Structure 1
Amino acid sequence: MEADTDAALYAVADVTVFEPSSTESHFVGNYTLNGFSSFNQLNADFAVALWDARRQTLVCARDLLGVKPLYYVHRPGSFCAFATEIKALLAIGEVVVKPNQHKFREYLTWPKAYVPYSSETFYETIYSVLPGHYLQVSSRDSQVTAYWKPDLSRINGLIDADDYAALFREEFTEAVNARMLGKSQVGAHLSGGLDSSSVSCVAQHLLMAQGRPSVHTFNIDTGLASTDESVYVQEVIRQWNPVHHTVQPEPDVLASILEINRLFDRPEHFIIPSSFHLSVSIKARQIGCDCILTGHDGDSVITTGFDYLDQLIDRGDWDELQRACQQTVSQPNRNLTYVSDKWLSLSDRAKYEKYILYIVGAEVVSRFKGEPLTRFLHTLSSQKQRFNLSTTAILTYCIKRISDKIAHRVLIDSAFSPAFRQLSTPLLQPTTQGLNACLSPESPVPVSQIINTTNVICNEQLDHIGAYYGHQYSFPFFDKRVVEVGLATPAWVSFDEGRGRGLIRHGLQTVLPPAIVDRLTKANFVEYGNLSAQQLYQATHEQFALPGHEIWEVIDRPVFNEIVAIVFNSRIPIQQKTRYNWLLSRIIYLSLWLSTLSKGS
């Protein structure tokens, strides 16, 4: 606890500071001098609660990415309690343990866009402090306000791509270094992708320069060819020689889910269960790691830059769009199966036509939907001439759009029962959606891409797992200054002439192995997610198949059975099962959580 008795201020905090000039004990002093803006000045992962006795107000705040969790209960006129784990609040006798059904609606609906992080939790009356916000609580009421205002001033003077890459290299290297200070044994996820490789290579480069023990890297081997990235992992090992460990996901998926429920105080969150993370954490505990660095979702911060194509369409810069599309498809080893499942067998000309129609065609359709057919055909004809497209390519594209629409018109987005659908509309709760207003219009990357429920909950979940297994999970890509660089980098810099991730490829080209710098592919975990969903269903269906299980108050059994049939149907292409793996897994996660909640009550 930190206190300033003269000012009658007291603070408790869970904080890791990443700037040498700041310390963990500065919350009271900074708040006294600068008020709520002091939270924005700190580059740290933190959850803090300050009691301002003069105003009889409790102030709670979290870091901008919500790496450190902070939950609270407020009963006006009675009491307020806060904690970094929900289970601490559940232990208070005055807190009624009741599932929040409104949260089920968000949790079990297939998302078509980024879902803002909400203050609601899976428990009624228990709330979460929003990332990048502060909460003021008095005896009568509470108020939530955003404090985060990105400082983009140091980026404004940059001119060319090398300037941006150099600044990213400087900020990212410092972010990794700051997270290793004071740690005796550093671990890092290493999948072989750009993000995890960047973290692992920079960490090992710094540790060697400082004469410290090598980083322990962890790669998860599922045993499936579709997820195998060992070629790229070996490139990192060959260049930097970390202490490497290959681990397998925990074999008992059900046991892993129950463990997450216990640690996390809510249902599991991912298609691929956190047996992934548990396997690494168990191994890291055996080794004695006190820190695990992860590149989790670095591509939300340091983006691909392919929104540059949308910007060209909006500007009507057709010549540059044509050149950019040609650059994209001409990259060696580019495999755009989402454009065509036969991509690798297409000629260069066919690749160009399919890709530019993929980019431009949807825009033409959306802009001229509802317009007379003659105008639509005229526009399509103009695009045909402008981009030198063949009639065959356009006809093929149109036929594919029609067939896709027919095939996908009955996609299942949720499996709620009729009774659950009739529940009253959820009350509006504070969310991170408002943070978008904090950015200037010139900032190319939307905050919703970075701060959303999936990202924040992953951060919270890893924090809980790490705390239990004795190490701290840390996210260099979510460093405040790194995030600001990503927000202010123009899309054309990130686009990198069709390669994408320009900041990493140029900024870290002297640290990353050439094979990683040039990598254009990503592992595909849909097959593993499908197998995990099947295994989980087989292990649990008898437990919640009885008519009286709580899950059937939420889920419609015939729709659920339809989802199960799709997940287990070997004739359906694996790539079409993602949402069904997601729905089945989450329904099971929720049913297990409800069961354990009932037993606990």
Structure 2
Amino acid sequence: MSSVCGIYFLDGRPVTAETGEAMMRELGACHADYAGTWYRGQVFLGCHVLFFTPESMLEVLPSYDSATGLTITADAVIDNRAELYDQLSIEPVRRENVTDSQLILLAYQKWGRDCPKYLLGDFAFAIWNDRCRTLFCAVDHTGTKSFYYYQSGGFFAFSSLLRPLFVLSGISKKYNETWIADFLALPTVMHQLDPELTIYKDVYLLPAGHTLTVKSERVDKQLYWQVERQAELKLPSDNEYEEAFREVLGEAVRCRLRNIRRVGAMMSGGLDSTSVACLAARELKSRNDQRLISFSSIPKHGYRNWLADKWIADETPYIEAVRQHNGYIDVVYCRAEGKHPLNGTSRLLTILEQPYKIIENLFWIDDIMTKGKELNVGVILSGGAGNATISWGELTAYLLSLHRMGKWSSMCRESWRFAMLQDSPLKALYKLFRTLFPYNRQNILHPQVDQQWQKILNLSVINRDFAKRVSAHERFRQFRYSLFRPMDSWETRQTLLSPAAFSHFGVINTKLGLANQVALRDPTMDKRVIEFCLSVPENLYICNGKERYLIRRAMAGIVPDKVLSNETVRGAQGADWVQRMENNWVELKDEISRIGSLEIEREYLDIAKIQGSLNKYTKLDDAVAGEFNLRVLVRSLIFSRFLRQN
């Protein structure tokens, strides 16, 4: 786990030591075990290395190879090392001491700009080719590592973090108003529609599955991988699909256990995180390694339940079932006592370098990361992408797919079987068909209906004049965004695994990891897992009206039956976020009431709407805990604090 930076003066002027040192100082805001720099005339490369794997302790970065004229700086952990040893003809006696950056450099020598296609893992790197006078940059398939860049005015600069770029003359902190419009208008926790944009004008994020080749005369960006429909996998029996599932997911977990410290996992009581944790613990036990530490978020002491019957805030019974069944997991329950969504924003805004919207979850995720560091954990596994991959099986989306393909009998059969499993079958059927029948009509009308944009505006506090000035409506049309249009299976998974989603999580995970010196790694977002899960026939995910059917069968015996058979309740982590703010609401309400005192706040925000909404919340209680307007107020305050702090 590392952070990188660099400069390439396209006009030929040399990079001074003062310039490189200034970038390294800003990069060094996070702890590093080793820091290195490399200068060659018009090029500077820098790296802060945090020892993470056994091989990382051998890294000397940036690394220059005099025989080839290549220099690399990298933030990388390569997971398919064994495969690359053979492909790159590395002798067995040398393999143990080959670092990940050396593997990347050898791959570049063999495959050139196609080398990222052959690498699996989490990586962002830059390679200077002294002979060709080119800088080659790449990020991994799912954009797990952030890689910011700027190109203008005769130079190209890059960095894992934003701060190092702003020490360079010519790069200003002028806001990117398109990004701000996206941030304020999107009702979800997503920050932007375009995966390349950042909050700063002319500073971009290299999106998932892309490379950059920088020459003196141009910058060439290329896509080398993206989520696509897969050819359907044909296997003789359901048992063989289940075996293949276990092998693919098992390998994705195994390769992420390579670490010099303890291994941890974020574990709720759901299918995704428990599957990852149980597979990791089994593998650690087989190696006679230290026990897995699971970090489980539970509500604060004194939590009052306000959720509907199908949701639970405290998943302890399911977590305990996993602990007892597996026998090689130590559970650390994290209540994040004393924390709420608004009392740690200064630190989190500094870490993330931008405003954020994951108000219900970020404070307890950060608490888990902090506890992981205290317990000498080097990597924390998660199952964040599982809903789109390993535990896919969303009934409504599947029925919409059958509807679109004209498979009426299958659609009716699965609908009926699902309804028969519910407490009120007729009510369940009514809800399903109310969603199904307008599907084609909504898809046809969607691009022309201005009502969609009006609904988005009604959920937002974006200043209407600002939205018009930056043509936000046209932008949402361009990206065909709608929160309200029903989506079939492929559309839903494509959205969950979109470049924008990858960028969103990549930025957050990179920066939280660097700040806490703990790597966040998600086996359910492994390229192999994604492609395998997209190739599995849809009827293996939904069967006889049961959702998430494949994972329930494939993980039998590995995950306890209490978790696998649970089809009645789902976890709602962070359900206590409003209760946590109750005692501070007078002060917070007063601060929200002052939003608009700055001109820049009035430019971007609908102040009248904020104040009108605020007047409805004289106090906080469970009756308002689920209200979207309250979330918008909290997000508005975080955005305001960013503007003031910045």
Tell me the TM-score normalized by structure 2.
0.75
Q: Is the 8 A contact 1:172 1:476 kept in 2?
A: yes
1:373-405 per-residue CA deviation (whole Å, 9 max, x = no partner) reads: xxxxxxxxxxxxxxxxxxxxxxxxxxxxxxxx9
Cα pair distance change 1:564/1:492, threshold 3 Å? farther
Aligned to 1:27: 104
1:294-318 per-residue CA deviation (whole Å, 9 max, x = no partner) reads: 1113112232243321122123222
Aligned to 1:161: 238
Mapped to 2, the partners of 1:464 and 1:558 lie a distance apart of 34
Q: Is the 8 A contact 1:250 1:279 kept in 2?
A: no
Aligned to 2:576: 528
How many residues get paired?
A: 537
1:213-259 per-residue CA deviation (whole Å, 9 max, x = no partner) reads: 11111111224434111111111111123111111125243332211
For residue 328 of structure 1, report the CA deviation from its aligned partner.
Answer: 1.8
Cα pair distance change 1:291/1:539, threshold 3 Å? farther
RMSD: 3.5
Aligned to 1:244: 331
Q: Is the 8 A contact 1:37 1:147 kept in 2?
A: yes
Aligned residue for 1:107, secondary structure, equals helix
| Structure number having the greater helix percentage | 1
Aligned to 1:130: 207
Q: 2:399 aligns with which of 299, 309, 314?
A: 309
Cα pair distance change 1:325/1:164, threshold 3 Å? same
Which residues in structure 2 correspond to 1:104-119 (within 5 Å)? 104-111=180-187, 116-119=193-196
More displaced 10-residue stretch of structure 1: 149-158 or 291-300: 149-158
Aligned residue for 2:207, secondary structure, equals coil
Which residues in structure 2 correspond to 1:237-386 (within 5 Å)? 237-241=323-327, 242-249=329-336, 251-253=338-340, 254-302=342-390, 303-306=392-395, 307-331=397-421, 344=423, 346=424, 348=425, 350-363=426-439, 366=442
Q: 2:563 aligns with which of 509, 516, 521?
A: 516
Mapped to 2, the partners of 1:517 and 1:450 lie a distance apart of 24
Q: Is the 8 A contact 2:230 2:531 kept in 1?
A: no
1:551-573 per-residue CA deviation (whole Å, 9 max, x = no partner) reads: 22211111112333566688997
For residue 209 of structure 1, report the CA deviation from its aligned partner.
Answer: 1.5
Which residues in structure 2 correspond to 1:396-411 (within 5 Å)? none
Letter in 2 for 1:82: F
Mapped to 2, the partners of 1:354 and 1:262 lie a distance apart of 48
Q: Is the 8 A contact 1:82 1:89 kept in 2?
A: yes
Question: What is the identity percentage for the equivalent residue pairs of Structure 1 and Structure 2?
Answer: 21
Mapped to 1, the partners of 2:158 and 2:73 lie a distance apart of 11
Q: 1:412 aligns with which of 446, 458, 469?
A: 458
Cα pair distance change 1:484/1:26, threshold 3 Å? same
For residue 48 of structure 1, report the CA deviation from its aligned partner.
Answer: 1.0
Letter in 2 for 1:12: T
For the pair 1:46 / 2:123, whether they are aligned, the reply is yes
Aligned to 2:3: none
Cα pair distance change 1:540/1:143, threshold 3 Å? farther
For residue 131 of structure 1, report the CA deviation from its aligned partner.
Answer: 0.8
Aligned residue for 1:21, secondary structure, equals helix
Mapped to 2, the partners of 1:567 and 1:491 lie a distance apart of 45
More displaced 10-residue stretch of structure 1: 133-142 or 149-158: 149-158
More displaced 10-residue stretch of structure 1: 449-458 or 271-280: 449-458
For the pair 1:594 / 2:640, whether they are aligned, the reply is no
Cα pair distance change 1:492/1:485, threshold 3 Å? same
Mapped to 2, the partners of 1:452 and 1:586 lie a distance apart of 23
1:102-135 per-residue CA deviation (whole Å, 9 max, x = no partner) reads: 2111111134898654211111222111111112
For the pair 1:499 / 2:546, whether they are aligned, the reply is yes
Mapped to 2, the partners of 1:86 and 1:139 lie a distance apart of 23
Aligned to 2:41: none
For residue 489 of structure 1, report the CA deviation from its aligned partner.
Answer: 1.7
Cα pair distance change 1:240/1:593, threshold 3 Å? same
Quick one: higher RCO (CA 8 Å, sep 6+), 1 or 2?
1
Aligned residue for 2:212, secondary structure, equals strand
Aligned residue for 2:393, secondary structure, equals coil
Mapped to 1, the partners of 2:636 and 2:410 lie a distance apart of 46
For the pair 1:184 / 2:274, whether they are aligned, the reply is no
Which residues in structure 2 correspond to 1:383-462 (within 5 Å)? 412-425=458-471, 446-462=493-509
Letter in 2 for 1:147: Y
Cα pair distance change 1:273/1:9, threshold 3 Å? same
Aligned residue for 1:182, secondary structure, equals coil
Mapped to 1, the partners of 2:634 and 2:297 lie a distance apart of 21
Q: 2:270 aligns with which of 193, 197, 215?
A: 193
Mapped to 2, the partners of 1:176 and 1:128 lie a distance apart of 28
Letter in 1 for 2:419: V
Cα pair distance change 1:259/1:432, threshold 3 Å? farther
Q: Is the 8 A contact 1:152 1:485 kept in 2?
A: no
Aligned residue for 1:255, secondary structure, equals coil
Cα pair distance change 1:162/1:31, threshold 3 Å? same
Runs (5+) with no aligned partner, structure 1: 335-343, 371-404, 434-441
Aligned to 1:561: 611
Aligned residue for 2:288, secondary structure, equals coil
Letter in 1 for 2:642: W
1:68-124 per-residue CA deviation (whole Å, 9 max, x = no partner) reads: 111112124x22111111122223344212222221111111348986542111112
For the pair 1:16 / 2:77, whether they are aligned, the reply is yes
For residue 531 of structure 1, report the CA deviation from its aligned partner.
Answer: 4.6
Cα pair distance change 1:570/1:489, threshold 3 Å? same
Aligned to 1:209: 286
Aligned residue for 1:180, secondary structure, equals coil
Letter in 1 for 2:336: P
Cα pair distance change 1:365/1:125, threshold 3 Å? closer
Cα pair distance change 1:152/1:481, threshold 3 Å? farther
Cα pair distance change 1:117/1:297, threshold 3 Å? farther
Mapped to 1, the partners of 2:402 and 2:335 lie a distance apart of 44
Aligned residue for 1:291, secondary structure, equals strand
Q: Is the 8 A contact 1:325 1:355 kept in 2?
A: no
1:9-64 per-residue CA deviation (whole Å, 9 max, x = no partner) reads: 32211111111233511222212222222111111100011223344332221112
Aligned residue for 1:268, secondary structure, equals coil
Mapped to 2, the partners of 1:569 and 1:489 lie a distance apart of 50
For the pair 1:103 / 2:186, whether they are aligned, the reply is no
Q: Is the 8 A contact 2:249 2:524 kept in 1?
A: yes
Letter in 2 for 1:275: F
Runs (5+) with no aligned partner, structure 2: 1-61, 85-98, 308-312, 481-488
Mapped to 2, the partners of 1:569 and 1:452 lie a distance apart of 40
Q: Is the 8 A contact 1:62 1:129 kept in 2?
A: yes
Aligned residue for 1:358, secondary structure, equals helix
For residue 199 of structure 1, report the CA deviation from its aligned partner.
Answer: 1.3
Q: Is the 8 A contact 1:4 1:28 kept in 2?
A: no
For the pair 1:468 / 2:554, whether they are aligned, the reply is no
For residue 140 of structure 1, report the CA deviation from its aligned partner.
Answer: 3.7
